[in-house]
Chain A
């Protein structure tokens, strides 16, 4: 079956702009999580959605937002881009994200590489 699909794979923006990234989870998966990966901070949790509801949010400013649609596809948006937002943004999907934990069934996409100039 198709894996987690993230678009676009690469994009370049300038400071002050905004960006929207898209994630299509594996068919049937209802939970979508987003992570930011940078050289300085490593992998950091942004948010997790399940059935269109944000269930958890990481320690990021309000410029970072997301949403999930009824078909489980998810988007994240970053407004007023800063140089430090340059990163690889990873999306992960799973059937569920609750006990019994099924992290063996958590699959990551290849990411969207954002460069802010």
Chain B
């Protein structure tokens, strides 16, 4: 598969463990955030979103936490699987709702 060659922070976890990926955002006025997963050779894929009126949102095996005080997002993946290996990006949505500002990304590697 194709690699974008990103020089990213890497999180390495054992299969079955929980993973926590962190993201700091810059715009305190942002009120909508999204986590994306990008596998090698593919475009980003929506995982989960959260609005600023929430602190936590859960999906299937994933949880997003939002701390507006310190402008911090985290993505928690439960029981991490080899298929979770990818680059994960957080993104802020602009007020008009037609633009995403992405964070730098974290590479998750799952060891079998």
Contacts and interface: CB of A to CB of B under 8 A. Distances in A.
B108 interface: no
A110 B5 contact: no
B93 to A, nearest CB: 6
Contacts of B41: 110
A98 B96 contact: yes
Interface string B33-70: 01000000111111001000000000000000000000
Interface residues of A, number: 32
B98 A55 contact: yes
B43 A48 contact: no
Contact of A37 (B4, B97, B99): B4
Residue of B5, B42, B93, B100 contacting most chain A CB atoms (<10 Å): B100
B101 interface: yes
B98 A39 contact: no
Contact of B43 (A38, A39, A110): A110
A103 B98 contact: no
A111 B2 CA distance: 11
Interface in A32-65: 33, 35, 37-39, 42-45, 48, 50, 55-56, 58
B93 A48 contact: no
Nearest to A101: B97
Interface size class of B (residues with CB under 8 A): 20 to 34
Contact of A42 (B93, B94, B99, B102): B102
21 contacts: A33-B98, A35-B100, A37-B4, A39-B4, A39-B6, A42-B89, A42-B103, A42-B104, A43-B89, A43-B102, A45-B100, A45-B101, A56-B96, A90-B44, A98-B98, A101-B97, A104-B49, A107-B43, A109-B43, A110-B41, A113-B2
Interface of A: 4, 31, 33, 35, 37-39, 42-45, 48, 50, 55-56, 58, 88, 90, 92, 97-99, 101, 103-104, 106-111, 113
